[in-house]
Structure 1
Amino acid sequence: MTTMRPSGLWELVEWRAAASPDAEMAVDEHGRRLTFGEYRAAAERAAAGLAAGAADGGGPGRIAAVSWQLPTRIESLVLVAALARLGVVQNPILPIYRDREVGFIAGQARPAMLVVPPAWRGYDHAAMAHRIAGATPGVGVLVVDGALPEGDPATLPPPARPGGAPPVRWLFYTSGTTADPKGALHTDAALMATAAGMAERLDMTAGDRNALVFPFTHIGGIVWLFAGLLHGFAQILAETFDPRATTDVLRREGVTTAGAGTPFHLAYLAAQRENPGDRLFPSLRVCPGGGAPKPPRLHLDVKRELGGAGVASGWGLTECPILSMASVRDPDRALAGTEGRAMPGVDLRVVTPDGRVAGPGEEGELRARAPQMMAGYADASLDGRAFDADGYFRTGDLGTIDEHGYVTVTGRLKDVIVRKGENISATEVEGLLYEHPGVRDVAVVGLPDPALGEVCCAVLVPEAGREPPSLRELSAWLGERGLMIQKHPERLELVEALPRNPAGKILKNDLRSRFG
């Protein structure tokens, strides 16, 4: 076995299977388990089965891409490795996508195969896939009801060992809600760099057991697969996150890294508070986060009540995942209020509205050059607008970088509320409202107003067992913390839960449509 780090995913699967074949690679909520050695063998059988299907007309052996939309299951992990063994481009699709999004993706990516479950969570994915295939020439459908197709690995050709520049192996689509999703092209090398940097910040070892409880088809799910293979730790899978049932599974399986973002961490805290005298996750080291802003108090609550290092969150995009990330060794101030420092090899800068590179602590658009940067968009016409003249990717996120290199994301360029000519950062207001003891979750959005242009509306999930705070009470709270009166919410809406996408980001367009 080579001691050099593999350059591609299939090489990584082989390398890990040789290094620790009997170590547990994955376990699901039903107690099904898979070792790294078994993972490699299952992937080769599946690759042979898929290749045999290609010989019968329409499988991945003849293609540019395979699109797949499976839940977070052991079979999904095996499929990824099988497609890597075949050397094809794979296109994971979020399970919440329906005809419009999947149809658009199929029309642009032109996969030879669309892999779906028969039905999942009450939706008939197979029927959707056949509708899309019928309207998109050349697209075949594989319905996976449990096991993947299998064949004899001896029939497979030797694995491809490409030389030169890393080839594109991945096509991930952004989870936008107002326009067609954008497809980002990635290499194994880019995802490997992301996984290695993340694992270093979290001090991951072979003894860890990670909570993979969000959609595996998200780019973050694939990054965690790479990280587990690099370091030999196990993934605890949950097909659907249920605050009570999933928490029980994580406890049963001795979770050490309990991700994967604010809504998950809030659920863990709620479960812990139901049994304050009983440590929920005795082996917990850290709660990794990302994908959505976190209330500043969340880290301290998690550290005090759940234990471990608290919340170590990161920031990135589908186009360039995890550009910055906190370390388990960072001070509480940084863990509570920032997204950590730039990942290894990442060059970040803040650019002010007038095009000047900002100084420490000065707000502007965060831009990046990084080894985990996408190779471009599937629609190459989008590339020119995505990068500035110096080759930095325009993230569209507003933020600051302090004198110690810590990144704070303050909002989105498109998420600034303009009230009577005054710019209001929704993230700034949300951060202060999160600290109110009567607030469990909150989003701040701008709503149209004929006199002011926009008004600031706080959409709030009250803390259980407490009287919901009034608008007057929230305004007094914000005033005591020094927020200028023009930035105070002028409208309050109470809801049971905020709408979020699978990455945990709040769907603010849904809130604007509902309350606007």
Structure 2
Amino acid sequence: MRTIPPELVKRYEAEGWWTGDTIGDLLARGLRDAPDAVFRVHSAVRPWSGTFRDVERVARRLAAGLRERGVGPGDVVSFQLPNWMEAAAVFWASAFLGATVVPIVHFYGRKEVGYILRSIRPRVFVGAERFGRLEFQPDLCADVPVVGVVGRDFDDLLAADPWPGVEAVDPALPALIAFTSGTTRDPKGVVHSHHTLGYETRQLAGLYPPDRGRQLTSAPVGHFIGMVNAFLIPVLDGTPVNLSDVWDPAQALALMRSDGLTVGGGAAYYMTSLLDHPDFKPEHLAHMKYAGLGGSSVPAAVCDRLARLGITVFRSYGSTEHPSITGSRHTAPERKRLRTDGDVLPGVEIRLGEDGEIFSRGPDLCIGYTDPELTERAFDEDGWYRTGDVGVVDEDGYLTITDRKSDIIIRGGENISALEVEEALLGMPGVAEAAVVAAPDERLGEHAAAVLRLRPGRKPPSLGEMRDHLERMGLARQKWPEELHAVEDFPRTASGKIQKFLLRRDIAMRA
């Protein structure tokens, strides 16, 4: 793990950002204070309905069963489950035991899961027998001492009597390892301590509007932010948990009407897929009061579209490594909420490198990677994290992300901002999402290629129509994409972010 400068540790503790609480302590208090809060899974495969008390009992019986099998503080417990009740039980049980939990996104395949299990060597693995394309593969878990499969033998892990307390562990030790698959070929294992995860949970909860309503969580709980939103923040707040194990805009719109649930943001894709769905009606807007957007670049065109509908948009910026770097409150001036990614959050510091790259540090910054080489490259001795993102800070201290360093296209020695071209493309009629990536070019080295997802029923524009639009927008000719592709949907990370490295690979293979 990285070395955290002693002066930062002292500051974080003195300010109360880092406390003596473990994640198990936070959960135990929250569950004690709101035992009757509703916990519901909206699923065609494994629906479930109960209360926090009911889920806690399963979690504590699981904790007792794992303890009987020798699992305790510091051991690694991994699970690959959809947004089901059992995922909460595994996470909560691990926290009560002081174990390090490793959630795995349920749609990761054999290659990713095998890599993760080899990296962490868990003592426990809990999976699903079958869900969509997910199927339990016993050979991957051959070296794991304790294995349970939901839908087959998970209940065999439960002891008759629940585990009564919370194991005492050092809150500076690892609480969670979140594997994130973004721009790299193999997932990166990001390690968070009880300190960093606890602070992130409290900080993120503080950004949410108090009248946000009963949220529907469809983001996979195997992903860092989905898990925090589903299994930690509601417990701290004593608010209901409503999970969906697939992102289905039709289901979300139906639940708004039948159960009064709300969808409050995430990646911009979640909001636009609702607005573009044929079942969307003006009355649904009553359940879409707020849109907290983040997880990927937030196009200005999307912000403007939501704002015109009366939705209060506020943006934030972070990553699995440093989850909450900047953010706008829902009460901030509209220009700041729509056009920036917010100002730095309490305890967080940022600075910009000579090329505009953002460096950050703060109480919610992870403590390193499972790969020591990644840790050494990403963090310096003063505690700064190299984000790989490029931005600018305005006179009021609000940050705007202008590029990802890996998204800069170098055409014949000239830099092209993919984000700038994407913003222009989103102004075309019928375009729901746009991604611009580098494509190989024998003469220039590389050129821009545009990949579009269209709204339902719309036909792809021609290359000429796209160029005419960009000329009207005033975009310099050398920035125009030189090839155009249309897709039904993009390859995405668990948080909805477009995986551009896969687009670049597919386009290069066609060349």
**What TM-score, normalized to structure 2?**
0.88
1:423 CA drift (Å): 0.4
Query: What is aligned with 1:360?
Result: none
Match of 1:508 among 484, 495, 500: 500
Q: Aligned in 2, Cα 1:335/1:435: closer, same or farther, shift over 3 Å?
A: farther
Decide whether the 8 Å contact of 2:73 with 2:169 is kept in 1: no
User: Is 1:408 aligned to residue 400 of structure 2?
Assistant: yes
User: Is 1:292 aligned to residue 296 of structure 2?
Assistant: yes
Decide whether the 8 Å contact of 1:13 with 1:40 is kept in 2: no
Decide whether the 8 Å contact of 2:174 with 2:191 is kept in 1: yes
Q: List aligned pairs for 1:89-488, cutoff 5 A.
A: 89-124=100-135, 126-127=136-137, 130-134=138-142, 137-145=143-151, 148=155, 149-153=157-161, 156=163, 158-163=165-170, 165-176=171-182, 178-204=184-210, 208-224=213-229, 225-271=231-277, 274-276=279-281, 278-305=282-309, 307-309=310-312, 311-353=313-355, 364-388=356-380, 390-488=382-480
1:395 CA drift (Å): 0.7
The aligned length equals: 486
Q: Aligned in 2, Cα 1:319/1:178: closer, same or farther, shift over 3 Å?
A: closer
Identical pairs, percent = 33
1:496 CA drift (Å): 2.2
1:390 CA drift (Å): 3.6
Query: What is aligned with 1:20?
Result: 34
Which ranges in structure 1 are unaligned for 5 or more consecutive residues? 354-363
CA distance in 2, matches of 1:330, 1:162: 39
CA distance in 1, matches of 2:260, 2:347: 33
Query: What is aligned with 1:490?
Result: 482
Which AA in structure 1 matches 2:101? Q
CA distance in 1, matches of 2:34, 2:303: 34
Q: Aligned in 2, Cα 1:157/1:15: closer, same or farther, shift over 3 Å?
A: closer
CA distance in 1, matches of 2:256, 2:19: 30
* TM-superposition CA deviations, 1:486-515 (whole Å, max 9, x none): 111122122222222221111222222222
CA distance in 1, matches of 2:144, 2:206: 43
CA distance in 1, matches of 2:19, 2:253: 34
Q: Secondary structure at the match of 2:506?
A: helix
* TM-superposition CA deviations, 1:436-455 (whole Å, max 9, x none): 22311111011010111111
CA distance in 1, matches of 2:74, 2:174: 13
Q: Secondary structure at the match of 2:432?
A: strand
User: Is 1:76 aligned to residue 68 of structure 2?
Assistant: no
1:139 CA drift (Å): 4.5
1:169 CA drift (Å): 1.1
* TM-superposition CA deviations, 1:461-480 (whole Å, max 9, x none): 23334453333333333333
Which AA in structure 2 matches 1:15? R
User: Is 1:33 aligned to residue 49 of structure 2?
Assistant: yes
* TM-superposition CA deviations, 1:157-208 (whole Å, max 9, x none): 7422235x53211111121464322211112321222222222222246x73
**What TM-score, normalized to structure 1?**
0.87
1:138 CA drift (Å): 4.7
Q: Aligned in 2, Cα 1:420/1:377: closer, same or farther, shift over 3 Å?
A: same
Which AA in structure 1 matches 2:53? G
Which AA in structure 1 matches 2:221? F
Q: Aligned in 2, Cα 1:220/1:399: closer, same or farther, shift over 3 Å?
A: same
CA distance in 1, matches of 2:174, 2:51: 28
Q: Aligned in 2, Cα 1:139/1:395: closer, same or farther, shift over 3 Å?
A: farther
User: Is 1:43 aligned to residue 59 of structure 2?
Assistant: yes
Q: Secondary structure at the match of 1:279?
A: helix
CA distance in 1, matches of 2:48, 2:285: 21
CA distance in 1, matches of 2:236, 2:165: 23
CA distance in 2, matches of 1:275, 1:95: 28
CA distance in 1, matches of 2:438, 2:502: 12
1:226 CA drift (Å): 2.0
Q: Aligned in 2, Cα 1:463/1:270: closer, same or farther, shift over 3 Å?
A: closer
CA distance in 2, matches of 1:316, 1:482: 31
CA distance in 1, matches of 2:51, 2:146: 31
Which AA in structure 2 matches 1:244? A
Decide whether the 8 Å contact of 1:63 with 1:112 is kept in 2: no
Q: Aligned in 2, Cα 1:285/1:93: closer, same or farther, shift over 3 Å?
A: same
1:289 CA drift (Å): 2.3
Which ranges in structure 2 are unaligned for 5 or more consecutive residues? 1-17
CA distance in 1, matches of 2:95, 2:381: 35
CA distance in 2, matches of 1:63, 1:202: 32
Which AA in structure 1 matches 2:475? L
Q: Aligned in 2, Cα 1:28/1:78: closer, same or farther, shift over 3 Å?
A: farther
Which AA in structure 1 matches 2:492? R
* TM-superposition CA deviations, 1:283-324 (whole Å, max 9, x none): 43312222222221212322333x441x32322121111212
RMSD: 2.5
1:83 CA drift (Å): 1.1
Q: Aligned in 2, Cα 1:494/1:17: closer, same or farther, shift over 3 Å?
A: closer
Q: Aligned in 2, Cα 1:255/1:5: closer, same or farther, shift over 3 Å?
A: farther
1:263 CA drift (Å): 1.6
CA distance in 2, matches of 1:467, 1:454: 27
1:18 CA drift (Å): 2.6
Q: Aligned in 2, Cα 1:144/1:467: closer, same or farther, shift over 3 Å?
A: closer
Q: Secondary structure at the match of 1:482?
A: coil
Higher relative CO (Cα under 8 Å, sequence separation at least 6) belongs to 2
Which AA in structure 2 matches 1:233? T
After the TM superposition, which segments of 4 or more aligned residues of structure 1 sit over 6 Å from their partners?
none
Decide whether the 8 Å contact of 2:107 with 2:133 is kept in 1: no
CA distance in 2, matches of 1:204, 1:186: 27
* TM-superposition CA deviations, 1:377-432 (whole Å, max 9, x none): 12223222112354310011111222222222222111210001100111111112
